């Protein structure tokens, strides 16, 4: 194997991806498997997780689908047991579970002052606690072994708060803060060989935002979709493959001295001032 292959390869590594059965999660799982990792796909629906695992095996990789609610501690504990029994100890955790909900989003008929507390709490729970709890469950083994890698999926909404998505913005900002804190904590208290970083995607088309970006009747961009493109210098939305290079780099030995950072993958959105 070449020096670059050793630096960026994940052969012999076991990776877990929460939210791995979604549009972006599937791309992350395939990217890790293509780099040589064995992959456990975690999601709420067993059938969807199994579909991604089957696709990886058909490409020559090793994978298992595990149904798990990332907010359920008992299910997380069982997921740890299952993954370790089938694939071995976990080296890489990708916290990809997250998302937004319309009731936690302002709209013409939904004022900020009327947003339901339960809806806001649900979005914060899914994005923040849905990142924190798997980090506890799978990070424990990393702490015991003194090695591992955790990669959180944040959002550019954490750094450049978007209109309307008040709960999601705040939750992803908390994910960034948690990433910084956990990187320092694990390195100082357990091992400098445990790294924690995050990726902040810009605008990617997924089921949760499709209706906001594309008019279902015409297939054209909505006014919000056009506004997003106008503020993205590369003039397109991201695709799952656009995240794979950053993910594999952060998970690989090539990033051995990288911890406590959030990497934007946003087509220039964060750099553009609007004029």
> What is the pLDDT, as a whole number, of residue 210?
75
Burial of residue 134 (CB within 10 Å: 0-12, 13-18, 19+) is buried
Catalytic residue list = 168
Taking residues 115-131, what's their average pLDDT?
A: 97
Report how far Cα 200 is from the mean position of its chain's Cα atoms.
9
CATH 3.40.50.720 residue ranges for the chain: 3-202+241-264
Q: Report the distance separating Cα 50 and Cα 42, nearest Å.
A: 9
Find the range with the poorest average confidence among 107-121, 137-151, 220-234.
220-234
Phi, psi (degrees; rounded to nearest 5) at 71:
-95, -5
> What is the pLDDT, as a whole number, of residue 84?
98
pTM: 0.95
pLDDT at residue 190 above 70? Answer: yes
Q: Following CA atoms 9, 10, 11, 14 in sequence, which dihedral angle do they give, to the nearest 10 degrees?
A: 180
Taking residues 122-130, what's their average pLDDT?
A: 98
Phi-psi region of 232 (alpha: psi -120 to 50; beta: other; left: phi over 0): beta
> What is the pLDDT, as a whole number, of residue 251?
98
pLDDT at residue 206 above 90? Answer: no
- Taking only the tens place, the pLDDT of each residue in 224-265 is 889 999 999 999 999 999 999 999 999 999 999 999 999 999
HSE-CB of 103 using CA atoms within 13 angstroms:
9
Other residues' Cβ atoms within 10 Å of the Cβ of residue 108: 5
Taking residues 123-142, what's their average pLDDT?
A: 98
Model confidence band, residue 93 (pLDDT cutoffs 50, 70, 90): very high
> What is the pLDDT, as a whole number, of residue 1?
63
pLDDT at residue 171 above 90? Answer: yes
> What is the pLDDT, as a whole number, of residue 214?
84
What kind of architecture, by CATH, is found in domain 3-202+241-264? Answer: 3-Layer(aba) Sandwich (3.40)
Model confidence band, residue 3 (pLDDT cutoffs 50, 70, 90): confident
- Mean residue pLDDT of the chain comes to 95
Residues in CB range of 254: below 8 A, 6 or more apart: 7, 8
- Taking only the tens place, the pLDDT of each residue in 39-62 is 999 999 999 999 999 999 999 999
Q: For 36-67, give the secondary structure using H, E and C.
A: CCEEEEEECCHHHHHHHHHHHHHCCCCEEEEE
Q: Report the distance separating Cα 167 and Cα 121, nearest Å.
A: 8
pLDDT greater at residue 1 or residue 158: 158
Whether 158 and 166 have beta carbons less than 8 Å apart is answered as no
């Amino acid at each position: 194997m070449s020096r670059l292959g050793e630096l960026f390869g994940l052969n012999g590594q076991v990776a877990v991806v929460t939210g791995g059965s979604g549009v972006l999660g599937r791309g992350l799982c395939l990217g890790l498997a293509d780099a040589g990792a064995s992959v456990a796909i975690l999601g709420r629906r067993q059938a969807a997780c199994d579909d991604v695992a089957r696709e990886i095996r058909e490409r020559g990789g090793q994978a298992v689908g595990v149904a798990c609610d990332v907010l359920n501690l008992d299910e997380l504990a069982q997921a740890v047991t299952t993954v370790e029994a089938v694939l071995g100890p976990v080296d890489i955790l990708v916290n990809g579970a997250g998302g937004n909900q319309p009731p936690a989003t302002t709209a013409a008929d939904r004022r900020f002052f009327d947003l339901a507390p339960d809806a806001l709490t649900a979005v914060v729970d899914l994005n923040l606690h849905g990142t924190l709890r798997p980090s506890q469950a799978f990070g424990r083994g990393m702490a015991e072994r003194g090695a591992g890698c955790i990669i959180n999926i944040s959002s550019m909404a954490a750094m450049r708060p978007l209109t309307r998505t008040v709960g999601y913005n705040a939750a992803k900002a908390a994910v960034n803060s948690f990433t910084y804190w956990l990187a320092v904590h694990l390195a100082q208290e357990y091992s400098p060989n445990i790294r924690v970083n995050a990726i902040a995607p810009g605008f990617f088309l997924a089921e949760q935002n499709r209706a906001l970006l594309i008019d279902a009747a015409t297939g054209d961009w909505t006014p919000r979709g056009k506004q997003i493109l106008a503020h993205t210098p590369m003039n397109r939305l991201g695709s799952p493959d656009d995240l794979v290079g950053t993910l594999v780099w952060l998970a690989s030995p090539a990033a051995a001295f990288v911890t406590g950072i959030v990497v934007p993958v946003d087509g220039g959105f964060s750099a553009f001032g609007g004029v």
